[in-house]
Structure 1
């Protein structure tokens, strides 16, 4: 009954499409125009990818810190390691550059060598005064020598903040206004103000300026992603259309396919704009992904049309059969692919949810476009010429199919042994996979801004902030000597960790105050004793200038303090050990009844988010497998067939995971997608093969071997075509400058290649070996869905279609 309904449905669909072609084309144009109006809503995200749910504990802690101290990632640093800087002309030019940035509306403050102040004891008024190191401008070499002597030898408070006394590297700190850090104004400042002025300075003074800091890195990284979207789309169009042309040797068919996938890309961008989603590192991959997935749809439909035309020469009948026979199969395979992406919707990560929504909707959209546009366009075109049909008789394809058939017939034991060997080796490799939560690991290594990151890591031990916030649970509790001593002991541990920079906090300022009280003697750069504390702090309280220095380290109530350190790019395992060591020290130093101490910062949040995504990977992949298993159960009504169909698709995933372990490719946000994407696509081949296998069984009176080989010959060519397109299509992502995108493209390509071989060799071998258990009328019942309808010459030949 359902079979009759399905056939009737697709028959009606074919007639509706072919009889209302002008109306449908107008509708497609109208939808495309509507979606194109939403392109203006597209914007690249100006915040870091938040991999955690909003209500996750780690996010709540981070928000608590931001509410107390404001945005932490607002620092841009400029650095110079060049001895020629210490000349009158160049040092004055460097100081002037810093002064110029202060005039920008986007800048909150700038701290450079010229802005450095020294605390000077005012005995008469019992307070500290701030005096600049450089009052106006540098006028002589002796003044520079005096400045160097003071900075590098007498003021440890500033060491590793604005200079490295060992390498004589100098840097300036630009603090952007916190309310513009996550807006387009940040990009405007970096691109239109910061970079042009620095370029002029470099050219004029012949000095290389290093630039870093999270606002700068995020801006240039985002721009690289935006630039690559266009490159990916063009590369995907070029590669897939070239392969398509090599298969079909038809400019006409190639052009039609390009039109379809280009409209599909326009719809995808329109969906992103319509849903008001931001373009992230993941959603940026969807447009080229749609091209790669859409071309195989075109191959199935055009190949079927040309096959039908060659068979009986009736164009209308051929187009009707394209819709009725291939439409159902293509729908099922696109639905399974969309399911693979849609499982991300059920995760609690906003980043993955948006990716899942846009990808699954776009895949269904490209299916609809293929089904509507291709048959309609061919109604307006003349019959294919003989040269357009030559590819149907290619001998080398026949040779490939014959090779597969021989392998399944004669080398079944070899296939099983190879599969078991690969499975064993891969499982060993899986245990070597590492998890990476690095903010900068995937950034393009050849860019100047990445080289600058490494420069600041070497000179100042990192640029990624790690924050520790101390809640003393009482007002003015921070300035208690007992609290300062605990903070000092924690800072001593941080200093001993080579992956972290020298910490910055109120402790350093208090030590500096004691040094100033003793007239700048460096041996007094330490916390005051309990006897000294009262009169040194009385000097500090009388100094209004100290309020400005304190505001970045202590909140207005004096209850909260922060310790800021900067972290090198370290692996997740090492980061976890560092976190454990710091946490152990915190637990020892700060009694929970008196203090509440939290660790946070962008780097830590990102690392926690990566671990969270790994758990979501297991959930989304398990859900994808479960949904597709349900689909198989409904389609074939056989639990045994579910197992047989899943084995050839799970094996490639395990092999890929093993490869990741051996090649040192870590699990991270970009590579997490590999498994669900590959599984959703590779299972299409299984559906095609098993659907044809069932049809062959019924046509050959349940003769197993004849049916398996018949299905192999019938589906082998199309599976080979589509797998090659998918392999080279996903390989396009390897041209990316982002390591994660390269890994994603290479791993999905490899997985789909393994999946093709697995479905063409292992799947038919399993069917033949288990023929008594699965290939009989009791087990393999009549399907409720007929994926590939039986050949029937009774379709309407109405020429008025």
Structure 2
């Protein structure tokens, strides 16, 4: 009864599609146009992706910090390591450059050597004032030489702010408007204003200017993502169309398939816009992913159409049978793939939820499109000629199938030894895998902005901010001498950590006031004693620092202090060790009963987020395995078959994980995706093979060996075709300039190749070796869903066609 319903249902669908071709074409055109109107709502992210939920404790601390001190990632740095900068002509040009940048509304203020202010003491009335270090508009060579000496020897206040503490490198700091730093205005300023101005200066003055800072890195990185979407789509189309043409040797079939997947890509962009999601490094992968997954659908449908034409030559019957016979199989394979992606929706990460929603919706959409477009278009074309059907009898494919059968028939022990050896080696490799939380690791190393980051790491110890929030638990508690001494003690500890820069806090300004009180003598750049503070206080009472340092590092109530240090690009392991060593020291310096001290900042946020995301991805992979196992349990109604079928799908994942350990590829958001993607796709081959095996058992009166070999020969060709398309399709991601995307493409390709071999060699070997327990009528019950057609189904279709003619 179920069988009749299944094929009767798909036969009805076939008639519905072929009798309403014009309506279907118009519906697809209308849907495509409507979704195209949603493209304008696609947004490119102007902030770092938040890898954790908003209510996570780490995010709460960070948001509390932002409430008190505003956006911390608003600094763009311009660095120069060239002594000729302190010559009249080039110094004047640099001064003009920074003055020009100061005029842009996106820039709040600029700290530059050309416009440095120093704190000076005045007696009548007693006061400190910030006055220009260089008073002449066009200083001569002697004045500049004197200024250079003073800067590097007697102005410790500006160390790591304007000059490097261990070289003659200087930098200018552009503080962007905090209201605009996370908007499109930042992108326009960086790409259309800042970069051209810097490039012009370099050409005119012959000075190499290094540019960095979080807003700059984020802008260029997101622009790289935008540029690569187009490259990926074009490369995926090119590679898959070439492979498709190689298999089918038909321009017509290739063009129809390309049209289908291109519409699928247009729908993918439309769905992203419709849901108002941002384009991130994950969602940017979806359009080429749709191409790679969509082409196998086209292969199944067109291949079946041509087989039917070769069998009886009736085009109308062939098209109806394509839908009725292949529709169910492609639905199930697309459903399992979509289910693998849909498990991301169950995680707590908004980034993964969005990726899971868009990917699963569009995988089902590409199935619907291919099922509608291919039969409808072919119905208007002449039947394929004999030369278009030659690929159905390729000798080299037959040789491949013969080799597989030979291995399964005569070398099963070798297959098991190889599988066990791979498993042992993989487990050893898995123990060497590391988790990476590096913000820069996936960024293109050949890009200039990446090289500039390394420059600032070597000269200024880093560009990624790590913030320490000190709560004194009482108003004006920050400026008490006891608190300032504790802050200085922590700063001295941080300065000893090689991966962190010398910190910046309110203590710099307090030390500078003492130096200014002693007429600028650098040996007095230190915290004042209680007695000295009484002398200095009358001068500091109405002090204006000009650059707002006090406001930037002490909140308006005086209760909260901020200590900023900059991190090098260290991985998760080092960052966790730094945090682990720092927290006991913080608790020792700041007693819990009097102070509350918290670590935050973008560097820590990303590291914590990476760990959180990896945990969620592992959970989603487990859910995917359970979900797909459940689907297979429903389809095959056998617990033993689930266990057997999972072996050839889990082994490739373990091999890939071991390979990552040996190759030094870290677990990170981009590479952990490999396992969920590969598992969702590779299980399709298992479903096809087991469904065909179940069918052959019934046909061959439960003769195990004959059924296994028949299933192997029947499904081996289609598995090979689709696996090759998927292998080369995912290899396209290896052209990316992002290390994580390269690793994703290479690892998914390798995993799918392992999965194909496991399904064609290990799975049939297991069925033959465990035939007494597996291949009997009690275990191999009638499946809940008919997946592959039989001769009986052909007869049924013939009857239906006769009745409806």
TM tier relative to shorter chain: over 0.9
In structure 1, what is the equivalent of residue 651 of structure 2? Answer: 651
Residues 585-613 of structure 1, C-alpha deviations (whole Å, 9 max, x = no match): 11111111111111101111010011011
**Partner-residue secondary structure (3-state), 2:96:** helix
What are the ranges of 5 or more consecutive residues in structure 2 without an aligned counterpart?
none
Structure 2 CA distance, aligned partners of 1:555 and 1:298? 62
246 and 547 in structure 1: CA distance in 2 versus 1, 3 angstrom threshold: closer
Q: Please report the TM-score for the alignment, with normalisation by the length of structure 1.
A: 0.99
Q: Where does 1:92-103 land on structure 2 (aligned, <5 Å)?
A: 92-103=92-103
SS of aligned partner of 1:77:
strand
Per the alignment, residue 149 of structure 2 pairs with 149
**Alpha-carbon deviation of 1:545?**
3.5
Aligned-pair distance for 1:794?
A: 4.0
Asked whether the 8 Å contact 1:437–1:611 carries over to 2, the reply is yes
Matched, 1:109 2:106: no
Could you say what secondary structure the match of 2:79 adopts? strand
Which residue does the alignment assign to 1:320?
Answer: 320
1:731 aligns with 2:731: yes
Give the conservation status (yes or no) of the 8 Å contact 1:77–1:212: yes
CA distance in 2 between counterparts of 1:411 and 1:738 reads 42
**Hey, what does 1:286 align to over in structure 2?**
286
Contact map agreement 1:316 1:797 (CA 8 A) in 2: no
Report the 3-state secondary structure (helix = DSSP H, G, I; strand = E; otherwise coil) of the residue aligned with 1:172.
strand
Contact 1:345–1:354, Cα closer than 8 Å, also in 2: yes
**Is residue 2:785 matched to residue 1:785?**
yes
Q: What is the deviation of 1:550? A: 0.6
Supply the distance in 1 between the matched residues of 2:85 and 2:154 (Cα, whole angstroms): 21
1:273-313 CA-partner distances (Å, limit 9, x unpaired)? 11111111100000000000000000001011111110111
3-state SS, counterpart of residue 164 of structure 1:
coil
1:708 aligned residue: 708
Deviations 1:729-781 (A, max 9, x none): 00000000000000000000000000000000000001111111011111111
How far does the alpha carbon of each residue in 1:614-669 deviate from its partner, in whole angstroms, 9 at most, with x for none? Answer: 21122101100001111111111110000000000000000000011110100111
Query: How far 1:546 sits from its partner (Å)?
Result: 6.7
Provide Cα deviations, 1:72-119, integer angstroms capped at 9, x if missing partner: 000000011112211101001101111111111111111101222111
Tell me the SS of whatever aligns to 2:63. helix
CA contact (8 A) 2:91 2:114 kept: no
- How many angstroms apart in 1 are the aligned matches of 2:547 and 2:481? 18
**Structure 1 position 528 matched with structure 2 position 528:** yes
Equivalent position of 1:311 in the other structure: 311
2:625: which partner in 1?
Answer: 625
**Residue number in structure 2 paired with 1:205:** 205
Deviation by residue 1:353-387 (Cα, 9 ceiling, x = unmatched)? 00000000000000000100111111111111111
Query: Which deviations, in whole Å up to 9, do the C-alpha atoms of 1:666-686 show, x marking residues without a partner?
Result: 011111211000000000000
Moved more, 578-587 or 659-668: 578-587
Which moved further from structure 2: 310-319 or 240-249?
310-319
Whole-Å separation in 1 of the counterparts to 2:231 and 2:154? 53
Name 1:640's counterpart in structure 2.
Answer: 640
**Structure 1: runs of 5+ lacking an equivalent:** none
Query: More displaced, 340-349 or 612-621?
Result: 612-621
Paired with 1:103 and 1:136, the residues of 2 have a C-alpha distance of 21
Q: Does the CA contact (< 8 Å) of 1:316 and 1:799 recur in 2?
A: no
TM-superposed deviation, 1:129: 1.6
Moved over 4 A (4+): 796-801
What is the alpha-carbon distance in structure 1 between the residues aligned to residue 723 and residue 546 of structure 2?
68
Looking at structure 2, the residues matched to 779 and 717 of structure 1 have their Cα atoms a distance apart, in angstroms, of 27
Q: Is the 8 A contact 1:443 1:738 kept in 2?
A: yes
**Contact 1:617–1:672 (8 Å) recurs in 2:** yes
Q: Conserved in 2, the CA contact under 8 Å of 1:540 and 1:546? A: no
Match of 2:769 in 1: 769
**Structure 2-normalised TM-score?**
0.98
Corresponding residue SS for 1:599: strand
| Partner in structure 2 of residue 481 of structure 1 | 481
Say which SS state the counterpart of residue 119 (structure 2) adopts. Answer: strand
Q: Deviations over 1:701-756 (max 9, x none)?
A: 11111110000000000000000000000000000000000000000000000000
Q: Residues of 1 paired with 2:150 and 2:218: CA distance?
A: 36
Q: Does 1:541 align with 2:538?
A: no
Query: How far is 1:316 from its partner?
Result: 1.2
Matches of 1:140 and 1:656, distance apart in 2 = 65
Q: Residue deviations 1:373-407, cap 9 Å, x none?
A: 11111111111111100001100000000000000
CA-CA distance at 1:535 after TM superposition: 2.5
Per-residue deviation, 1:537: 3.2
SS in 2 for 1:79: strand
- Aligned pair count reads 801
2:443/2:739 contact within 8 Å kept? yes
Partner of 2:57: 57
Secondary structure at 1:544's aligned position in 2? coil
